[in-house]
Structure 1
Amino acid sequence: MARQSSPLTPVLNRLRRPLTLTWAGLIAERVVRAFWPLWSLVAAVAAVLLLGLHDLMPLEVVWGAMVVTLLAVLLFAVQGFRAFRWPTREAALARIDDSLPGHPLTALADAQAVGMGDAGSEALWRAHQERMAERAASARAVEPDLRLSARDPFGLRYVALLGLVVALMFGSIWRVGTVAGMAPGGGAALATGPTWEGWIEPPAYTGLPSLYLNDQKGKIAAPQGSRVTLRLYGEVGALSVAETVSGRIGEVEPATSPEQGFDLAQDGTLSIDGPGGRSWEITALPDAGPSVQILQSGVETSFDGQMSQPFTAADDYGVTGGRAVFRLDMAEMERRHGLTAEPDPRAPIELDLPMPITGDRAEFTETLIENLSQHPWAHLPVTLELEVRDARDQVGQSLPEKMTLPARRFFDPLAAAVIEQRRDLLWAKANGKRVAQVLRAVSYQPDPGLFRSETAYLRLRVILRRLETLVRHDSLDSEAQDGIAEALWDLALVLEEGDIGDALERMRAAQERLSEAMKNGATEEEIARLMQELRDATDDYMRQKMQQAQRENQQNGGEQQQMPENAMRMTQQDLQDMMDRIQELMEQGRMAEAQEALEQFQQMMENMRVTEGQSGQQGQNPGQQAMEGLAETLRNQQGLSDEAFRDLQEQFNPNAQAGESQGNEGRDGGQGRGQGHQPRGQQGEGQGSQPGQGDGQRQAEQGGAGSLADRQQALREELERQRGNLPGGGEAGDAARESLERADRAMDGAEQALRGNDLPEALDRQSEAMEALREGMRSLGEALAENQRQQQGGQGQARGDVGQQESDPLGRRAGQGGQVGTQDSLLQGEDVYRRARELLDEIRRRSGEGARPDVELDYLKRLLDRF
Structure 2
Amino acid sequence: MTDPARENDQNGPAIRRDLPPAAEAMARRRIAAAGGRAQAALLWERVWPLIVPILCTVGVFLILSWLGIWTALPELARFGLLGLFGTILLFLALRFRHVAWPGPDEALARVARQSGEAHRPAVAFDDPLSHPTEDELTLALWRAHRLRLLERLQQLKAGWPAPGMNRRDPYALRFLVPLLLLVTFIAAGPDRGGRLADAVRPTTIMAEAAPRIDAWVTPPAYTGHPPIFLTGDVNRPVAAESERAITVPQGSTVTIRMPDTADLGVTALTKDGRPVPLDVAPADKAGPTGAPAERRLTLVGDSTVRIDRNGTTMMGWSFAVTPDEPPKISPTREPGATASGSLSLAYSVSDDYGVVSAKGLIVNADPTTGDGARPLVEAPELPLNLPRLRMREGTGETIRDLSAHPWAGAKVRMTLVATDEMNQTGESAPIEFVLPARRFNNPLARAVVEQRRTLALDANKAGYVAMALDAITVDPSKFQQDGVYLSLRAAYHRLTGARDDADLVSVVDFLWEIALGIEDGDLSLAAQDLRQAQEALRKAIENNASDAELEKAMQDLRAAMDKYLQALAEQAQKNPQANQQAANPNAQMLRPEDLQKMLDQIENLAKTGSKEAAQQMLSELQQMMENLEAGRSQQAQQQQGQQGEMNQALDKLGEMIRRQQELMDKTFKMDPDTDGSGAEQQPMTPQERQQALDALRKGQQDLAQALQDLQKQMEGQGMKPDGKLGQAGRSMGEATDQLGQGQPGQAVGPQGEALQALRDGARSLAEQMARQNGTGTQPGTGTARGQGQDPLGRRQQSRGTDLGSSVKVPDAIDTQRAREILDAIRKRLGDAARPLIERDYLERLLEPY
Scaled to the shorter chain, the TM-score interval is 0.3 to 0.5
Q: Which of these two proteins has the greater Rg computed from alpha carbons? A: 2
